Amino acid sequence: MSTATSRRNLLIFAPLGVALAGGTGFYLMLRGLQDGSFNPRGVPSVLIGRTVPEFSLPPLESSGLPTLASADLLNLPGPVVVNFWASWCVPCIIEHPHLMALHRRGVPVYGVNYKDRANDAQAFLTRHGNPYTRLGMDQPGRVAIDWGVYGVPETYILDRQGVVRWRWAGPITPELMSQDVNPLLDRLRA
């Protein structure tokens, strides 16, 4: 009888125990979400932690900018941002001011113009401003496929060694700038 009672008393603590264990787990998940060590949206780019595949792209002649090739992404003085964009892409206009801000702060932003016409791309840069220090034209979209790009805009951050540290599919937002981009750039520069 007494063992039955004590077992019953133990059982009565079970909900509390489960709730506390679960709560602790959730708390750790939330902490992980904030510092980036826990990400349930499990579509990590295969490129994260690796160097980019080899490529070389033609330049946008009218812009006078140097073009981009995989060789330009090795042994860099600091972290760089690689941005896939197109003139026909509306979210690219939305994220454009953030790229301009990065450019003004001296962060090299390399552009890959995706499935676009040269005239349209140039018109876009003339109208909205040019944030890119290098720009390659990926008209057939081959390089985008090699990188595993979902669609434009898509943005990568590479460290000095050319290793991909961060990737974002979709437009860059102010929250993303303050939570992810700027802290990561600071860390990589340090």
Partner 1 sequence: MIPEIGHFALIMALMLSVAQSVLPLWGAHRGDARLMATASPLAFAGLVAVGVGFGALIWSFVVNDTTVMNVVQNSHSAKPLIYKITGTWGNHEGSMVLWVLTLAICAAAVAGFGRDLPSGLKSRVLAVMGMISLGFLAFTLFTSNPFDRVWPPPPDGQGLNPLLQDIGLAIHPPLLYVGYVGYAVTFAFAVAALIEGRVDAAWGRWVRPWSLAAWAFLTMGIAIGSWWAYYELGWGGFWFWDPVENASLLPWLVGAALLHSAIVVEKREALKVWTVLLALLAFALSLLGTFLVRSGVLNSVHSFASDPARGVFILGLLAVYVAGAFALFAWRAPAMAPQGVFSPLSREGGIVLNNLLLCSIAAVVFVGTLYPLFLDLLTGQMISVGPPFYNMATAPLAFPLVVAMAMGPLMAWKRAAFWPVLQRLWWAACIALLAFILALVLGGWNALPALGFACGFWLLAGAVVDIGDRSGLGRTKLANVFNRARHLPRAAWGAAIAHAGMGVTILGISGMGLATERLIALPAGGTTQFAGYEWRLDGVRDFQGPNWTSRKASITVMRDGQVLHVMEPSRRFFPVGRMTTTEAAIRTNLARDLYAVLGEERDGPTGQREAVLRLHHKPLAPWIWIGAGIMALGAGLSLSDRRVRIAAPNRRRREAEEAARAGATA
Whichever of 63 and 83 has its CB closer to partner 1, that residue is 83
Residue 127, amino acid: R
**CB closer to partner 1 out of 29 and 123:** 29
**What's the closest the beta carbon of residue 70 comes to partner 1, in angstroms?**
27
Report residue 49: phi and psi, to 5°.
85, 5
Touching partner 1, residues 19-38 (CB under 8 A): 19-20, 22-23, 25-30, 32-34, 38
Q: How many residues bind partner 1 (CB under 8 A)?
A: 27
The three state secondary structure string of 135-187 is EEEECCCHHHHHHCCCCCCEEEEECCCCEEEEEEECCCCHHHHHHHHHHHHHH
Residues 36, 84: Cα–Cα separation, whole Å: 23
Pick one of 1, 4, 13, 77: the residue that binds partner 1 (CB under 8 A). Answer: 13
Residue 44 structure tokens: 């990590």
What distance in Å separates the CA atoms of residue 51 and residue 73, rounded to the nearest whole number? 9
Q: Can you tell me which of 2, 12, 64, 77 binds partner 1, judged by CB under 8 A? A: 12
The distance of closest approach from Cβ of residue 174 to partner 1 in the complex, given in angstroms and rounded to an integer, is 13
Residue type, 137: M
Describe the strand order of the beta sheet including 134-138 as a list of residue ranges: 134-138, 109-114, 80-85, 154-158, 164-169
- Considering only 91, 141, 148, 162, the residue that binds partner 1 (CB under 8 A) is 91
User: Taking CB under 8 A as the rule, which mask of x and - marks residues 37-66 in contact with partner 1?
Assistant: -x-xxx------------------------
| Shorter beta-carbon distance to partner 1: residue 74 or 123 | 123
Q: Which residues bind partner 1 (CB under 8 A)?
A: 8-9, 12-13, 15-16, 19-20, 22-23, 25-30, 32-34, 38, 40-42, 89-91, 151
